[in-house]
Structure 1
């Protein structure tokens, strides 16, 4: 493309809920819009109005625009048109559709993050209904899931999704790129009320501090009062050995994850379902997370067709002390939730411990006992966590004490 031409979007076979835009700035002739859409008879006028509104906002008076619509919703159309214009005109002005009120809600540091679903940041069709599968978090991914030549335009999709996508109550997460590109990503994320930012390939506390400092600057600049949590991802041998330094680098870290595809590649070994090659790393990550009082999040399971192997993997993950794991397909969410959930036996034991604790507290006793066993504070805390998970996942009624 020349300096006066730009193209953005997707037009490959199978593309849905997206569009492809070619734009050329002209010296005269006004606005020439060539719209190709199967729904032009129904939505042609509204699409044309949106395009003209954005062009007017950026003071583009003369241009030829070829717009191939594949069923894109307004926030996708707006993102594509804006990305094309801003490749051609140097400006920091943003064309923003009104933000959904629920997309400004904050989250707490210790909310459940049992499942988090990765969504490629430049593929809107995978975003639109992802929340109906009820993951705890939706990750709009600007890193590995986006090809290098699409990363710039993906920022506009992710920004607009943060504002206008229905997350169905899931935590709004974004994985940024590494290094300076990741710092630039933040400008498209922080002002638009992301709840949590994943920082990839962390190897030292400095990786966290750089991102955290930039977030605080942007929060101040845009008057964002909500907390923005951080989830470092450990993906190398060096990162594993520095896990505690990373986990304790900022008070804004809520959780820490491990990425086993890159970690095993760094070791020069194959990743297996048995996961013996990653036992040390996963154990280190859980230990570091516990020492820093944050959540430990396990890696994604890459075989989306093998639910039995996934279930076994989740059970191992739970046994190691992880609080959740990533997923790359909606069908994995239910299996992850079911296998991280406490068993009936675990719930019954937790209830007995918790009730014994309450009874001792009411009687003013300094020692809690259950039968012939003494119960100390960490055991009570674990029981409380088990009950809370059971309540939140619907296994245990929240009014169980009155039954």
Structure 2
């Protein structure tokens, strides 16, 4: 949708909420108040059209230096937020620089988005890769943001969907190990044990949490063939 304060914003929002959209992407989010304003409008529309209040999620796109500096406030602004996303084109323009293949100019913004999302317990999404014909470049950037910890990436071309799903999908070996870890944790919980062990080695909470994430990604994206 267009920005809420534009001449098309309210009409756009009416159309997507009444149309049953699960999540609305809010562009150019600079402050927590931007999130609150659209939340109030969504609630008004939900009540008017008979949708369950609170059933429409929000994804805030942060696209400016101001938004990046307030990313934590934005991420905590509404329970409707399922995540926040970086919008790089306007951000880079405002920095008075250009996008590079390495993405050096985006590292601070990416880390700010990621930290803010994690502090609020929501998802973090990277910006688009605009060269739809450069598959190798897309995969390189996607691998980089996956390593940083992002949950996904905004896409502009349908061809990129399968590429990204395959990149995020775990291998059969990773899934098998994750199942063993989760099963060991569940067995320890049933037996009232304070320590989880697998093959004679202690398994701590971060390892168990990562194993559950692997299984979740396998369910969402499938299993990657090695």
Residue ranges of structure 1 left out of the alignment (5+ in a row): 1-174, 397-403
Aligned length: 221
Counting only pairs closer than 5 Å after superposition, residues 194-233 of structure 1 correspond to structure 2 as 194-225=21-52, 227-233=55-61
What residue in structure 1 maps to residue 202 of structure 2?
373
| Per-residue deviation, 1:345 | 4.8
SS in 1 for 2:222: coil
Counting only pairs closer than 5 Å after superposition, residues 15-94 of structure 1 correspond to structure 2 as none
Q: 1:271 & 1:176 partners in 2: Cα distance? A: 24
| Richer in helix (by share) | 2
CA contact (8 A) 1:232 1:256 kept: yes
> C-alpha root-mean-square deviation of aligned residues, in Å?
1.7
What residue in structure 2 maps to residue 347 of structure 1?
175
| Per-residue deviation, 1:374 | 3.6
Structure number with greater Rg is 1
SS in 1 for 2:81: coil
CA contact (8 A) 1:353 1:375 kept: no
| Richer in strand (by share) | 1
Q: 2:40 & 2:201 partners in 1: Cα distance? A: 52
Q: 1:323 & 1:262 partners in 2: Cα distance? A: 22
Q: 1:264 & 1:345 partners in 2: Cα distance? A: 40
Cα separation, partners in 2 of 1:231 and 1:360, compared to 1, 3 Å: same
CA contact (8 A) 2:197 2:203 kept: yes
The answer as to 2:3 corresponding to 1:177 is: yes
| Per-residue deviation, 1:353 | 1.8
Residue ranges of structure 2 left out of the alignment (5+ in a row): none
Q: Deviations over 1:278-333 (max 9, x none)?
A: 01110110111011111101111011111111111111111111111111111111
What residue in structure 2 maps to residue 283 of structure 1?
111
| Per-residue deviation, 1:372 | 2.8
Q: 2:135 & 2:57 partners in 1: Cα distance? A: 31
Q: Name the TM-score, length of structure 2 as normaliser.
A: 0.91
The answer as to 2:145 corresponding to 1:317 is: yes
Cα separation, partners in 2 of 1:347 and 1:276, compared to 1, 3 Å: farther
Runs of 4+, deviation exceeding 4 Å: none
Greater relative contact order, per chain length (Cα 8 Å cut-off, separation 6+): 2
